[in-house]
């Protein structure tokens, strides 16, 4: 048990002293003492608990800020690398390579824009910040043009969607779909299919145990509004289907 909880339990247990006095000799004084003691215990407990959760909230905000700074720094580093490559092609007089580099930069910017337009803050932050963490998983994200979720999902559904996506990516990451020490490539796609949202997960190659992975994903979506569909039996490919306008 955490130290702050032990302190609170110790203070609350101290109320046994005036309670024992009341039991041993009931009088106006002992009753007043018990009342004041209980009031002091409650005030202390409320104050200590509030300070604890305020500190926890501050730490969470600090971690979020650090993650945001790390994400921005990573993106800045990526764009600087691309610009240096472009500058090198221009200096070498290679217009074809320069055009290819510009197209690659444009596509990266367009992808960031499509991810942002998904509109679910927790999901957008997770997708944008994933590359900043050291991971053996190379996450390649694809988002259908014009797909926006913010007006079609309730905040609760949006948070549930983010949680399912994170858990599914983690299942691929630690399911042993590649030899130990090798990097794994996972393509994560978002698109609309009629009245549903389809989120696809496809791992390169046919390594590991896809059926075991499917069981893990079924456990993740069990009791949730999403359902898992596998259209490539025997392969590490899964689609999650979510009805629109939840």
* Residue 113 to residues 3, 9, 147, 220, Cα–Cα distance (Å): 45, 51, 11, 29
Residue 60 near residue 19 (C-beta atoms within 8 A)? no
Section 174-200 average pLDDT:
77
Q: What CA–CA distance (Å, rounded) separates 218 from 229?
A: 9
Size of the chain in residues: 246
Residue 163 near residue 123 (C-beta atoms within 8 A)? no
Q: What CA–CA distance (Å, rounded) separates 154 from 211?
A: 32
Section 190-197 average pLDDT:
87
**pLDDT tens-digit series, residues 30-84:** 777 767 777 777 777 787 778 877 787 777 767 766 666 666 766 677 778 888 8
pTM higher than 0.75 for the full model? no
Residue 208 near residue 174 (C-beta atoms within 8 A)? no
| 115 pLDDT higher than 70 | yes
Query: pLDDT class for 176, splitting at 50, 70, 90?
Result: low
| 222 pLDDT higher than 90 | no
Can you say how many angstroms the Cα of residue 15 is from the centroid of all Cα atoms in its chain? Answer: 43
| 1 pLDDT higher than 50 | no
DSSP class per residue in 13-59: HTTHHHHHHHHHS--HHHHHHHHHHHHHHHHHHHHHHHHHHHHHHHH
Query: pLDDT class for 144, splitting at 50, 70, 90?
Result: very high
- Candidates 73, 186, 190; CA nearest to 133 is 73
Please classify residue 3 by burial: count the beta carbons closer than 10 Å to its beta carbon, then call 0-12 exposed, 13-18 middle and 19+ buried.
exposed
Q: What CA–CA distance (Å, rounded) separates 139 from 121?
A: 19
Residue 213 near residue 231 (C-beta atoms within 8 A)? no
Q: Which residue has the higher pLDDT, 96 or 22?
A: 96
Q: What CA–CA distance (Å, rounded) separates 67 from 136?
A: 19
What domains lie within the chain, and their CATH numbers?
68-242 (3.30.565.10)
| 136 pLDDT higher than 50 | yes
> Which range, of 57-71, 164-178, 211-225, averages the lowest pLDDT?
57-71
Secondary element (H or E) of residue 229: strand 227-229
Q: Which residues of 112-141 are buried (b: 16+ CB within 10 A; e: fewer)?
A: bebbeebebeebbbbbbbbebeeeebebeb
Residue 168 near residue 220 (C-beta atoms within 8 A)? yes
């Amino acid at each position: 048990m955490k130290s702050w909880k032990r302190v609170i339990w110790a203070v609350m247990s101290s109320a046994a002293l005036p309670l024992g006095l009341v039991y041993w000799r009931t009088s106006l004084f002992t009753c007043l003492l018990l009342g004041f003691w209980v009031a002091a215990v409650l005030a202390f407990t409320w104050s200590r608990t509030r300070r604890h959760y305020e500190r926890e909230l501050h730490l969470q905000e600090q971690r979020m800020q650090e993650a945001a700074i790390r994400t921005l720094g990573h993106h800045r580093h990526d764009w600087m690398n691309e610009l240096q490559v472009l500058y090198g092609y221009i200096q070498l007089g290679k217009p074809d390579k320069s055009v290819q580099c510009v197209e690659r930069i444009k596509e990266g910017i367009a992808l960031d824009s499509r991810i942002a337009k998904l509109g679910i803050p927790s999901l957008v932050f997770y997708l944008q910040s994933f590359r900043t963490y050291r991971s053996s998983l190379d996450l390649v994200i694809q988002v259908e043009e014009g797909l926006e979720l913010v007006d079609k999902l309730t905040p609760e559904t949006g948070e549930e969607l983010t949680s399912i996506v994170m858990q599914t990516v983690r299942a691929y990451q630690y399911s042993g779909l590649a030899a130990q020490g090798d990097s794994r490539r996972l393509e994560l796609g978002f698109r609309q299919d009629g009245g549903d949202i389809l989120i696809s997960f496809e791992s390169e190659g046919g390594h590991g145990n896809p059926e075991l992975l499917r069981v893990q994903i079924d456990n993740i979506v069990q009791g949730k509004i999403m359902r898992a569909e596998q259209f490539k039996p025997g392969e590490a490919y899964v689609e999650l289907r979510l009805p629109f306008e939840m």
